[in-house]
Amino acid sequence: MTVEYVELPNNGYLLCKVPEHVLNVMWKEIDVLLKISFRGAEPYNANLAGAIEHEYVLTKCSDKVNSYIELIAPLFWSYQKDDRKNKRHYLKNNNNGSPDLWVNLQKKYEHNPPHTHGGDLSFVIWLKVPYDIEKEKSLPNLRKALNPSAGGFYFTYACSTEKGGVGYHYIQIDQSKEGYMALFKSDLQHAVFPFYTSNEYRVSVSGNIGVD
């Protein structure tokens, strides 16, 4: 199991490779949504901050994802030396009683502004990254930038040593991140930059975890 804990000031996140059998069951449900052009799917946009048109609740893969959460989430608290590592972890339910698990099908130019989640822990799993990151970085609006940010995922956090008291941690999302999960405290603010060079969806799955 490939797992890395990335330390942030007063915080951190877990980066791990999701097993193929979990990825496959998510893709199976998402492929059906794509084939039916989302007809009958349960939209989740009203619960989310994203400027993203296609965001839908996932239900059929939730048991398999929940089993993986039960296994991986306690590791987060182990790295933080927190007794919650011994607690039960589970996918929360949303206000409609469905699992708090959804797919983001992000088109070029769409983005997710800074936001937090409900629950104790949250996660994002990157399933498909359709662009070439080097092409993104070479665009006229990015190639001279100090930190080309196309398609990136970033955390912001309070940090007394940073100018303005706010620090940020940037994760470059390219094809090497396909199949990886970032797991973090739900109150850790995060956002997603747009991408520009592909007409395909960037596909990710997110969810919120309860602990008791």
Asked if the model's pLDDT at residue 162 lies above 90, the reply is no
Confidence tier at 161 by pLDDT (50, 70, 90): confident
| Confidence grade of residue 164 (pLDDT, cut at 50, 70, 90) | confident
- pLDDT single digits (tens) 70-93: 999 999 999 999 999 999 999 999
Residues ≥6 apart with Cβ < 8 Å to 78: 85
Higher pLDDT, 35 or 142: 35
What mean pLDDT comes out for the span 30-46? 96
Sign of the alpha-carbon dihedral angle for 69, 74, 80, 82: positive
Half-sphere exposure of 157 (CA within 13 A, CB side): 19
Query: Would the pLDDT of 184 be above 80?
Result: yes
pLDDT for the residue 85: 95
Q: Is the pLDDT of residue 32 over 80?
A: yes
Q: Provide CATH code, domain 3-210.
A: 2.60.120.620
Does the pLDDT of residue 147 top 80, yes or no? no
Tokens of 12: 């951190």
**pTM, 2 dp:** 0.96
Alpha-carbon distances, residue 41 vs 47, 116, 191 (angstroms):
15, 24, 25
pLDDT of residue 95: 84
Share of the chain above pLDDT 70, in %: 100
Helix axes 20-35, 62-79, angle to 10 degrees: 130
Q: Which residue has the higher pLDDT, 143 or 155?
A: 155
Q: Whole-number mean pLDDT of the chain?
A: 94
What 8-state DSSP symbol labels residue 92? Answer: P
Query: Taking residues 119-132, what's their average pLDDT?
Result: 97
